[in-house]
Amino acid sequence: MMPHAQGDTLIGEHLGEATYKVLARELRRAILQRRYADGARLPTEAELAQEHQVSRQTVRRAFQDLVADGMVYRVPGRGTFAAPRDGHYLRQFGSIDDLMGLSLDTRLQVLRPLRRVINIEAASRLRLDNDAVHTIVVCRIHDGEPLCHTAIYLSPAAGAALQGVAELSQPGATSDVTIIGLLDTRLSAPIAEAEQSITAAAADQALAAALGCQQDAPLLRIDRTYLTTDNHPVELAISHFLPEQYSYRVRLRRSVG
């Protein structure tokens, strides 16, 4: 069994969100933290229902979400099992909390420490009045291999909030932090949403060296601009992923009415 709090705690911390989605996130977290190795059986519907004080229908819907995400597979009469990863990095990013959860199974490695620069394009995308931003370049490591290269640009307030953070000050330093996780505890207003675009790109010399691929190899580029609850952009993150190590899935639903 997973060492969880009782069901009222599980539900109470996520008011306004469907209970099965909260449970699915908790199970996904446990799988990503390798509490269930590839092929390991998860607790039964009855066990999870009792542990979290929810109905078996709630557990069933949570399992359905995990099956759709490729996180688990179900064998009638035998149970629900953690799906093999097959060398791919598979995550569902349905909320800011999911993005902060990157620290669960990846590590951040600093390639270029935090510093102040002039970057007109980044400043424009962050809706700044001048061209000065703070920047840091990092690599995310998963199972000892580079997963993505990310160039991060911060507003002056966000950059100032991260000055002096030891994990960001030395080239080659590694830690389990996320930049948005650090900002969320240091800014006057928490991060509330992200605007995202996905494109393809060819690896330049620097990206090829960081990701261990050939120059001009195809990469998945994901740009995210993070905004606080008062609608201020505080971070622009431009990430490049190796497509053979990363699967990106999104669920589309037809609107009703």
Percent of the chain with pLDDT over 90: 43
Task: With cut-offs at 50, 70 and 90, classify the pLDDT of residue 123.
Answer: very high
- The CATH architecture of the domain made up of 89-247 is 3-Layer(aba) Sandwich (3.40)
pLDDT digits (tens, 9 = 90+) for 23-67: 988 888 787 667 887 788 999 999 999 999 999 999 999 898 888
Domain range annotation of the chain: 7-82, 89-247
Task: With cut-offs at 50, 70 and 90, classify the pLDDT of residue 173.
Answer: very high
Query: How confident is the prediction for the chain on average, in pLDDT?
Result: 82
Residues 166-180, mean pLDDT to the nearest whole number? 91
Residues 229-256, mean pLDDT to the nearest whole number? 78
- In this structure, of 85-99, 119-133, 148-162, 188-202, the range with the lowest mean pLDDT score is 85-99
Task: With cut-offs at 50, 70 and 90, classify the pLDDT of residue 231.
Answer: confident
Above 70 in pLDDT, residue 204? yes
Above 60 in pLDDT, residue 95? no
CATH number of 7-82: 1.10.10.10
- In this structure, of 8-17, 104-113, 246-255, the range with the lowest mean pLDDT score is 8-17
Above 50 in pLDDT, residue 91? no
SS (H, E, C) the chain: CCCCCCHHHHHHCCCCCCHHHHHHHHHHHHHHCCCCCCCCECCCHHHHHHHHCCCHHHHHHHHHHHHHCCCEEEECCCEEEECCCCCCEECCCCCHHHHHHHHHCCEEEEEEEEEEEECHHHHHHCCCCCCEEEEEEEEEEECCEEEEEEEEEECHHHHHHHCCCHHHCCCCCEECCCHHHHHHCCCCCCEEEEEEEEEEEECCHHHHHHHCCCCCCEEEEEEEEEEECCCCEEEEEEEEECHHHEECCCCCCCCCC
Above 50 in pLDDT, residue 251? yes
Of residues 238 and 99, more confidence is placed in 238
Residues 10-21, mean pLDDT to the nearest whole number? 62
Of residues 199 and 21, more confidence is placed in 199
Of residues 32 and 14, more confidence is placed in 32
Task: With cut-offs at 50, 70 and 90, classify the pLDDT of residue 7.
Answer: very low
pTM above 0.85, yes or no: no
